[in-house]
């Protein structure tokens, strides 16, 4: 009987994705309820079995590529397939070697601060990020399954042949090849019969699991980015009430007779202990918070100018200060999260971009040979769309992070900071200065993940395609 594992923070949010990763065979051994030796051993065996099967099939594909390297078209097609699945092998190995930093990033959000004024906004944006993450997961899973199905379906169209370069006459001949989704070398005969069925099932397994391996890791990365973006949205959303809080408590608003009347409902306020910043016990009613409409000029100003010339009581000043502190600490937490994400996944992005660049160059060459609506056209376009889609997937979320983090400055400026207290204005100034530089995810410091990267990749592919068309 499995007891539910206690999780917190990001792990709870990403649990479906984590479970899928474990099912696909990544070396992810944390976050299980029972960690007895036997079960851990079983899980390790499960992951290793998947890894072995996938690597063995990849090597078979590599052997096939080496076998038929004489004919250019065959070589190009095989190279593209090999590079296509190189992503899965790289990501599998990358996760295995870097699992510690993945766990560290997943644990970054385990303790987050809270403030009674802003819990509602926090919960709302958390819910938004959760729903976005779920939708992304479903979409990517759906696309993966769709790709596998369409790949297998396409296998049954067209002629199942292989190109051979004849050495004597130097022209290309065709030779019948087994009708399988992937061209690979097997030690047994696969043209028909039992060998064929076994190879077919093995290849379907390979297609599904290797694509899942690569895509799910990208989903985790993008989910982290979604979470960071929604936290930044939350911070932007509470900037305005924060300023209003500080303004309502501080600004001298000459509002007629109200000014000089002492409110009869004023209770004696319990002055909080200056050291103890725990304000939960002190504030209980809406009146205490002073959150009345701005138009009325806020709560009545108390002109007991004992400690503070602006007329704030000690309690109200501490409230404003604690709200600012909450904002700053939350922002620092988000910065830490983004830095951790960049450290964890940056190198994987670099490898992905390197492999994708070579793949796309070869695909541009293949695309020049399309001569009609046939299997060749569909498969080349399918490869192109899939590869560009993978790059687009993380570029768009990286770009969103850049936009969100640099728009914090605009949000800070667009609230009514000029009505705020001195402290609030200083806070706005420091925040604006800090947020001028956007938070970016970089691929091991070589490039920044943004839509610019995607545009340059797309531009390069189109350029190669045009040049190669001209050369023909």
Partner 1 sequence: MAPKQIDCFEINWKFWKFLGIWSENKPHRYYKYYSKIFITFFVILYDVLYTINFYFVPRQLDLIIGEMLFYLTELSVLSKVFTFIIMRHKLKIIFEILESDAFQTDTEEELKILHRAKVFIKRYWKIVALVSITANLTHISSPLLKNLIFKVELVLPVCSYSFLSESFLKTFEYPLYFYQIVGIHFHMLYNLNIDTYFLGLMILIIAQLDILNVKFRNLKSGKDHTQLNESIMGLNKNLDHYNEIERFCSLVQNIFSFTLFVQFSMASCIICVCLFSFTLSVPVEYYIFLATYMFIMIIQIMVPCWFGSRIMDKSILLSSAIYNCDWTSNSKDFKINMRLFVERANKPLSITGGKMFSLSLATFTSIMNSAYSFFTLLRYIQTRE
In the bound state with partner 1, the residue whose beta carbon lies nearer, of 44 and 437, is: 437
- Contact set for partner 1, span 430-459 (CB under 8 A): 430, 433-434, 436-437, 445
In the list 178, 321, 346, 447, the residue contacting partner 1 (rule: CB under 8 A) is 321
Contact in structure between 324 and 427 (CB atoms under 8 Å): yes
Instruction: Note whether 332 binds partner 1 by CB under 8 A.
Output: yes
In the bound state with partner 1, the residue whose beta carbon lies nearer, of 69 and 336, is: 336
Region binding partner 1 by CB under 8 A among candidate stretches 12-20, 172-180, 226-234, 427-435 = 427-435
Least Cβ distance, residue 327 to partner 1 (angstroms): 9
Round to whole Å and give the CA distance between 31 and 28: 8
Round to whole Å and give the CA distance between 330 and 233: 12
Least Cβ distance, residue 279 to partner 1 (angstroms): 14
Taking residue 403's Cβ as centre, other Cβ atoms within 10 Å add up to 14
Least Cβ distance, residue 423 to partner 1 (angstroms): 8
Instruction: Note whether 427 binds partner 1 by CB under 8 A.
Output: yes
Round to whole Å and give the CA distance between 100 and 96: 9
Contact in structure between 315 and 271 (CB atoms under 8 Å): yes
Instruction: Note whether 100 binds partner 1 by CB under 8 A.
Output: no
Least Cβ distance, residue 21 to partner 1 (angstroms): 31
Please give the size of the binding site for partner 1, defined by CB under 8 A: 19
DSSP character for 59?
H
Taking residue 187's Cβ as centre, other Cβ atoms within 10 Å add up to 8
- Contact set for partner 1, span 215-274 (CB under 8 A): 274
Round to whole Å and give the CA distance between 453 and 395: 7
In the bound state with partner 1, the residue whose beta carbon lies nearer, of 134 and 325, is: 325
Instruction: Note whether 460 binds partner 1 by CB under 8 A.
Output: no
Round to whole Å and give the CA distance between 311 and 323: 19
Region binding partner 1 by CB under 8 A among candidate stretches 76-84, 103-111, 207-215, 321-329 = 321-329
Instruction: Note whether 410 binds partner 1 by CB under 8 A.
Output: no
In whole angstroms, what separates CA 16 from the centre of its chain?
A: 15
Closest CA to 283 of 294, 272, 299: 272
Angle at 316 between CA 233 and CA 418, to 5 degrees: 55
Instruction: Note whether 299 binds partner 1 by CB under 8 A.
Output: no
Instruction: Note whether 429 binds partner 1 by CB under 8 A.
Output: yes
Gyration radius of the chain's alpha carbons: 30
In the bound state with partner 1, the residue whose beta carbon lies nearer, of 135 and 336, is: 336
Instruction: Note whether 325 binds partner 1 by CB under 8 A.
Output: yes
Least Cβ distance, residue 413 to partner 1 (angstroms): 16
DSSP character for 300?
P
In the bound state with partner 1, the residue whose beta carbon lies nearer, of 68 and 427, is: 427
Round to whole Å and give the CA distance between 420 and 12: 38
In the bound state with partner 1, the residue whose beta carbon lies nearer, of 212 and 323, is: 323
What φ, ψ does residue 111 adopt, rounded to 5°? -115, 115
In the list 146, 422, 462, 467, the residue contacting partner 1 (rule: CB under 8 A) is 422
Q: Name the percent of the chain in helix, strand, coil, to the closest 5.
A: 65, 5, 30
Closest CA to 226 of 100, 338, 331: 338
In the bound state with partner 1, the residue whose beta carbon lies nearer, of 50 and 330, is: 330
List of residues contacting partner 1 (CB under 8 A)? 274-275, 321, 324-325, 328-329, 332, 335, 422, 426-427, 429-430, 433-434, 436-437, 445
């Amino acid at each position: 009987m499995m007891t539910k594992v206690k999780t917190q923070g990001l792990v709870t949010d990403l649990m479906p994705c984590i479970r899928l990763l474990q099912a696909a065979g990544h070396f992810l051994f944390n976050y299980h309820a029972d960690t007895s030796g036997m079960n851990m051993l079983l899980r390790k065996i499960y992951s290793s079995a998947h890894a072995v099967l996938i690597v063995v099939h990849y090597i078979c594909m590599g052997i096939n590529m080496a076998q038929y390297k004489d004919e250019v078209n065959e070589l190009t097609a095989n190279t593209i397939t090999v590079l296509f699945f190189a992503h899965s092998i790289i990501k599998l190995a990358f996760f295995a070697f870097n699992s510690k930093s993945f766990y560290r990033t997943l644990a970054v959000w385990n303790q987050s601060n809270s403030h009674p004024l802003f819990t509602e906004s926090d919960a709302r944006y958390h819910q938004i990020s959760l729903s976005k993450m779920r939708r992304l997961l479903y979409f990517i899973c759906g696309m993966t399954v769709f790709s596998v199905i369409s790949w297998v379906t396409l296998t049954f169209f067209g002629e199942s042949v292989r190109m051979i370069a004849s050495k004597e006459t130097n022209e290309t001949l065709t030779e019948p090849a087994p009708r399988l989704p992937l061209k690979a070398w097997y030690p047994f005969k696969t043209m028909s019969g039992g060998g064929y069925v076994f190879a077919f099932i093995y290849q379907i397994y390979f297609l599904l699991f290797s694509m899942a391996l690569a895509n799910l890791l990208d989903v985790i990365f993008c989910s982290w980015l979604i979470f960071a973006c929604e936290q930044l949205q939350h911070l932007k959303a509470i900037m305005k009430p924060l300023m209003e809080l500080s303004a309502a408590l501080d600004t001298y608003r000459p509002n007629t007779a109200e000014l000089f009347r002492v409110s009869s409902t004023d209770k004696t306020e319990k002055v909080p202990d200056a050291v103890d910043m725990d304000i939960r016990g002190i504030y209980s009613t809406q009146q205490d918070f002073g959150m009345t409409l701005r138009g009325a000029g806020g709560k009545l100003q108390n002109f007991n100018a004992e400690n503070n010339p602006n007329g704030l009581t000690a309690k109200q000043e501490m409230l404003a200060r604690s709200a600012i502190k909450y904002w700053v600490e939350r922002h620092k937490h988000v910065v830490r999260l983004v830095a951790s994400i960049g450290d964890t996944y940056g190198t994987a992005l670099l490898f992905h971009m390197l492999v994708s660049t070579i793949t796309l160059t070869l695909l541009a060459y293949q695309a020049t040979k399309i001569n009609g609506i046939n299997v060749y056209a569909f498969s080349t376009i399918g490869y192109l769309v899939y590869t560009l889609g993978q790059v687009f997937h993380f570029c768009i979320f990286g770009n969103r992070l850049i936009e969100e983090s640099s728009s914090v400055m605009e949000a800070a400026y667009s609230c009514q900071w000029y009505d705020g207290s001195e402290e609030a204005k200083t806070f706005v100034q420091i925040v604006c200065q800090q947020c001028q530089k956007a938070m970016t995810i970089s691929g091991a410091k070589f490039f920044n993940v943004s839509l610019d990267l995607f545009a340059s990749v797309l531009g390069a592919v189109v350029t190669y395609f045009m040049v190669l068309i001209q050369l023909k």
